[in-house]
Chain A
Amino acid sequence: MKQLDIKENRGLAAWVRRRPGVQAAGLLLPGLIAFGLFFVIPLLIVVGVSFTAKKAGTVDWTHWTLNNYVSLVTNFAGDFDPLYLNIFLRSLWFALLTTVICLLVGYPLAYFIARRGEKWRAALILLIMIPFWTNFLVRTYALQLIFRKEGLLNSLLLDGHIIKQPLDMMFTPGLVLFGLVYGYLPFMVLPLYASIEKFDFSLLEAAQDLGAGTFRTLRKVLLPLTMPGVVAGSILVFIPVVGSYVTSDLLGAQSSGTLMVGNTIENQFLKSQNWPLGSAMSLVLMAVVLLAIIIYFRVARGDKKGAAL
């Protein structure tokens, strides 16, 4: 028989045991430090810098100005200049198109995979993921190989006498869009798949038994119940695309039709060394992104707080 030890009620272990708050604090501390120090504070600094004047390669904390924000919508003469506005709009537009295309292509794909037997499902998901594990740059570069003037597609078409002149596909918005869809499709498919996989397919049979046609069934039964996946996937595609610059850099070379916000910010920071302007742009970008999320949540989920993430 064990002797019950009343001493257990005293001592450090018992003290900690009685205080779940202390336990929580202990577990949170590293995360708190990591995030507070290396995430929140840097973001606050960005806010601050956006209001300072340009000083190459460093921050001038003594000069405060709203110029950076003003110059986003004006040119040197002080007149309204839609330059940056256009870039923003284009980024939003690209992101929207990418999201929609990924959705249109990815949803049937996710559905297809979810309907297979268990072994097939795992294998197919693995197959989707493998291109994802090739380096992003490298994949995009592979697209260059195909679509360049002297690239694969052109050679095939020329050799097959389908065209006489090589097509100039590089550095076009269409190619950039294709590259974006190509790069971000897995981000759409995986959340969609996770959501569809949980779906009770007998509901579809019930709907058809009750007389609903295919489209009504999809619209009123499948789609609403897989909405969390749609929302999650859309967010995981839309936001990175808005701020991306690698794809537009490699496939668009920052030509006038393909320049995105990300490229501009990168230029300001790394080339022009105009940190304040870059910061101002970043903040506007973040604001736009947050706005887009809020709007999206309202529309897609009808005012319910989304727990998709």
Chain B
Amino acid sequence: MNKSTEGAVSSVELVGISKKFGDSLAVDNISLSIREGEFFSLLGPSGCGKTTTLRMIAGFEQPTSGQLYIAGQPVAGVPAFRRNVNTVFQNYALFPHMDVTDNVAFGLEATHAASKTEIASRVQDALDLVRLGNYGKRRPRQLSGGQQQRVALARALVNRPAVLLLDEPLGALDQKLRKEMQIELKHLQSQVGITFIFVTHDQEEALTMSDRIAVMSNGKVLQVDSPATIYERPNCKFVADFIGQSNFFAGRITGMDSDSVTVAVGGSDGGSFAVQAPRTNGMQAGQEVTVAVRPEKIGLRRVVGSDAIHSNGLNRTPGRIQRVIYMGTSTQYVVDIPGGSTLTVERQNSGIAEPNLPRFARNTQGIDLPGDSGLVEHEEVVLEWSPAVTLLLDKLRCRLRQ
């Protein structure tokens, strides 16, 4: 039996799993411990190995090395039809020659899991669960994408598997339907209580739905954490870049004290400035690091006279606005800073007056736009952010924290 640190039985456990296809290594020595009842996502760009990992759990591929446990039992060599795991496929894979009822009943009939009457009632319950109770007699080709997906869900869930695997199930749906299904899936999962393992390349989706996310790249797992931790405390540049947006600088640690470090951020033309960041284990003076700050953490305002003398404990740099990008809920500013680089700043168009910002902007028709900060291109501004949100990332490696 394998247990996670909390003492609960892990639902799925991968230990040193690798998968080779010919000469290429699709999955490179990954270890994961997925807890019972959790909504766990495998997130990464195309080709990172997330789907291969899922297929190994499902039983369609066998690992080249490593051990795989489902509900505590080793499943090496056990074919897919004997595993207590069900999959929702990316293209739903509904059997076109059967109606919805037969599709959903397929698993129960194939495994002789119950009597005819019990099967019928369980099928009806599953269809009711996904709100397709009256669609039993329809054929897959008569259903919309969203409906097909719900049938695929019902077909998998009716078997009461220990784990439900979902392979980018929302990929084919349009934006609005996707958002609805995300909420539905999350709701379903908490209702049914089964472990969900969800594969996606859409980081927003993963952040919204998951209890924990495993970020993958090139066959390796880079970080496994809750969505907030992944977002606020990425382990390495890849994660910081893949999830949300980040501003990156190359820099060197020039000074350290008990709880903070000073990093000199160099510019391409010689100019540089210093930033403060929290100190963590393993930092050394003189170390080369990558500094990362998220756009929404940076505030911007006009220059104020007292700036020259006063430091308010924030990291600060002057800049000149290069571009203003209006995005509806927020506005992004691309700001040139000394040293030749640019910072992207994102500011919510809240319409609340702030000190040192023009009150409103006026558009070309003379109408006031209360959300707009009124800042325009070529304006000189000051950018500030808290040391607490300044991330220092190792230049080369991603350290795995579990």
Contact = CB atoms under 8 A, between A and B. Distances in A.
A9 B77 contact: yes
Contacts of B139: none
A2 B77 contact: no
B82 A8 contact: yes
Interface stretch (B68-76, B169-177, B185-193): B68-76
Contacts, number: 28
Interface residues of B, number: 15
A29 interface: no
Helix, strand, loop or mixed for chain B's interface? loop
Contact of B84 (A4, A6, A8, A9): A4
B79 to A, nearest CB: 7
A5 B73 CA distance: 10
B320 to A, nearest CB: 48
B111 interface: yes
A4 B162 contact: no
A14 interface: yes
Interface residues on A, range: under 10
Contacts of A130: none
Nearest to B70: A4
B15 interface: no
A6 B74 CA distance: 9
A146 B111 CA distance: 67
Interface in B44-102: 70-71, 73-79, 82-84
Nearest to A14: B77
Contacts of B162: 1
A272 B82 CA distance: 67
A1 B79 CA distance: 17
A9 to B, nearest CB: 4
B78 A6 contact: yes
Nearest to A2: B84
Given A1-B71, A1-B162, A4-B73, A17 B82 contact: no
A17 B70 CA distance: 22
Contacts of A8: 77-79, 82
A17 B73 contact: no
Contacts of A2: 82, 84, 111
A4 B75 contact: yes
Interface of A: 1-2, 4-6, 8-9, 14, 17
11 contacts: A1-B84, A1-B162, A2-B111, A4-B70, A4-B73, A4-B82, A5-B82, A8-B77, A8-B82, A9-B78, A17-B79
Interface of B: 70-71, 73-79, 82-84, 111, 160, 162
